[in-house]
Structure 1
C-alpha cells in the first residue's frame, strides 16, 4: 500500500479534495470490542487516510521549508521501526548509538563546524533550539556561581537576550519554555532582506545570549554572523539555521553564511533541506559539557563514565533511532549528492522567480537560496485567493505571506523530487489563477 502510494504520488493533486476530507468521517466509530485483523486495519487506513494526505512528498509542494523524504531515509525509518530500538544508551541500542556517532561526525564535517561539537538528535528545530539554549543558560549562570539545576530561576542573575526582529517563532517558543519572556528581548532591526543589522547590535556582555539566524523563512537570507561574533564580547552566539545551515554543504551557497562556524551553538533540521522524515532535528553545540550539564539525568541503573549517552544530551529520556535516518540520507547522497541537491533546488527557485517576473510579479527577495517571495499590486486578499485557487487546481501547493508590509505569496523549493517540469506546471497554474484575482 505504501509503495503504491509513492508510485502514484506525482499523478495526485497536491491538495486534498473536499470528498477525501468528508470521507474521514469513516474513522468516527466506536473502538472495536474484538481484535481486528491487522491487514483489515491497514486497508481501512489506506482507503480513507491516503486520499486525505497533502502530497508533501511530490515535487510540487512549496508551502513549507520541507522536502520529500529520500528513498534511503524512508527505508531507514521502516527498518528502524521494525528494529523497535530505544536509543537510551549503547546497551539498549548499540546500532542506534553507533550510527548517531557516525552521522554526527559526518554532519560536522560536511557543515564545516568544529569537530569537538556535540550533536543531539531531537524531534525538530523547536527542541533543538531548546536544547542549545538550555546549555547556554546553564553556562552563563554557572559563570556567575548560580546552579540553575539546583536553584532554578527564582532569584537567579538576569540573562540578557539579543535577537533580530525577524527571528523565527520556534526560537522564541524555546526561550519561553526556558523561563525567558519575550518582553525582555533586546530586538535588533533587520534590513530589507530580513538580516539582522549588526550596526544596531546593543553592547553585549558575558551575561548575554545573541540569537542569530541562517535562513530567513521568507527571503532565505542569513544574519551577518561574522560581524555579530566580532561584537559579541563574550556573549553566547546561537544560530538558528533550521534550513539555511544546509547551505554550508555546497561551495556555491556557503558564502551566504560567512562566519557561522565561529558561533557557540547551531540548529539544523534534517526534514528540511536534507529530505529526511520528520523528527530529525539536530542540536549542535561547541561546548558539549554545557549541554550535558543541562540535559543529563541521574538514576542508579544508568551507565557511568565513557561517552555521554544520547539521553544525557537531549530532553527525551527514551526515543526512536532517528539518527539512523540522518545517516541513511547522508550515506545515500554522499558529499557530492548533498551539494548537488542544494544547488539544484536553489536553481529551481531562481527559475521560479524568473517565471513570476515574466508574469508581472515583483519578487521581493534576493533569491540567494531556495526561497521566493512575490507580490502583485492588488487590493488586500489577493494572495490568499490566488494560493487557494492553485491549491484547488491540484497542480501545486504554496501559501500567502506578509513580508516587509507587503502581501505576497511564498515558495520554498526544498524537495529532491522537484523537477523542471514541476516548476513549469506551477507557473502555468499561477498564470491561470491570476485571472481570478483580477490581474
Structure 2
C-alpha cells in the first residue's frame, strides 16, 4: 500500500499533498504526475480539493482534475457548490484499513466488530453528530450530475465575467481564471484592503481579503448556484464606484 513506512522519507511515512483548486487562484496541481512520482517512491498522496474536485463533473472543466482517481485520499467540501450547511466536509480514503486505523478509538466500553462489519464509529472523528450526510445526499440526488455540472460551469463563467468586466476598467487581476476564483488588486496593499473593507460595508456583494505571494488582494469566489450575470454586473459596478470614490481628482 502506498504511504507505508520506509518510503520517500527514509524510514518515515511520507505524505504528499496536492492542491485541486487553490483557495486563492483556483489553480490545479498536475495530479496524475504527482501521483506517479510519489507512488513510485512509496509516498501517500492526499488531495486538498475543497472545491476543485467538483470540476470532474463538468465535461468542459473535468480535465483540470485529471488523475484524482490515483490519489490515496481526498478532502472536499459540499457547502460551496452544493450550498448545503457549512459543516459538511467530506473525506475519502481508498485504503479502508488505514482509514479505520486512523479514526477508530478503543475503549473498554466500546464494542468493535471483529469480523470486519462496517461501523461508522470507526471511520469518522466523532462519536455523535447530526446527520450531515442527509442534506448532501438530498442535494446530489435532486441536482444529479448534470445539475451539479451546470452549477460548476456557471460559476466558472461568472468568475470569467468578473475578470473581463474589471480588467476592461483597468483593474488588475492577478490570476488566470481557472475555475471560480478571481484575485483583484488595487495598486498597493493599503488601498486594496481599504477597498475590500468598503465593498463589504456597502453590501451589494461580499468579497474577502487575502494575501497572495506577499500581496494584499480581493478574493472573489463564485460558488452560489443563484449567481448570474446581473449579480456580477451589479457587483462590479459597486466595486468600481467605491474605487472611483477613493481616486484623487
Equivalent of 1:404 in 204, 213, 225: 213
Counterpart mapping for 1:370-409 below 5 A: 370-376=180-186, 378-409=187-218
Equivalent of 1:292 in 91, 94, 100: 100
Mark the CA change 1:410 to 1:402 in structure 2 (over 3 Å): closer, same or farther: same
Report deviation, 1:301: 5.6
Q: Structure 2 length normalisation: TM-score? A: 0.90
Report deviation, 1:292: 0.5
Q: 1:344: which partner in 2?
A: 154
Local SS of the residue matching 2:245: helix
Q: Does 1:215 align with 2:25?
A: no
Deviations 1:186-207 (A, max 9, x none): xxxxxxxxxxxxxxxxxx8873
Report deviation, 1:333: 0.6
Report deviation, 1:159: 9.0
Q: Structure 1 length normalisation: TM-score? A: 0.52
Mark the CA change 1:205 to 1:211 in structure 2 (over 3 Å): closer, same or farther: farther
Report deviation, 1:262: 0.7
Name stretches of at least 5 consecutive residues in structure 1 with no aligned partner: 1-135, 145-157, 161-203
For the Cα contact (< 8 Å) 2:189–2:217, is it kept in 1?
no
Report deviation, 1:246: 1.0
For the Cα contact (< 8 Å) 1:348–1:413, is it kept in 2?
yes
Counterpart mapping for 1:101-250 below 5 A: 140=4, 143=5, 160=9, 207-232=13-38, 233-250=41-58
Larger-gyration structure (1/2): 1
State how far apart, in whole Å, the 2-side matches of 1:312 and 1:409 are: 41
Counterpart mapping for 1:422-437 below 5 A: 422-437=231-246
Report deviation, 1:306: 5.1
State how far apart, in whole Å, the 1-side matches of 2:118 and 2:191 are: 53
Structure 1 vs Structure 2 CA RMSD: 2.3
Equivalent of 1:366 in 176, 199, 223: 176
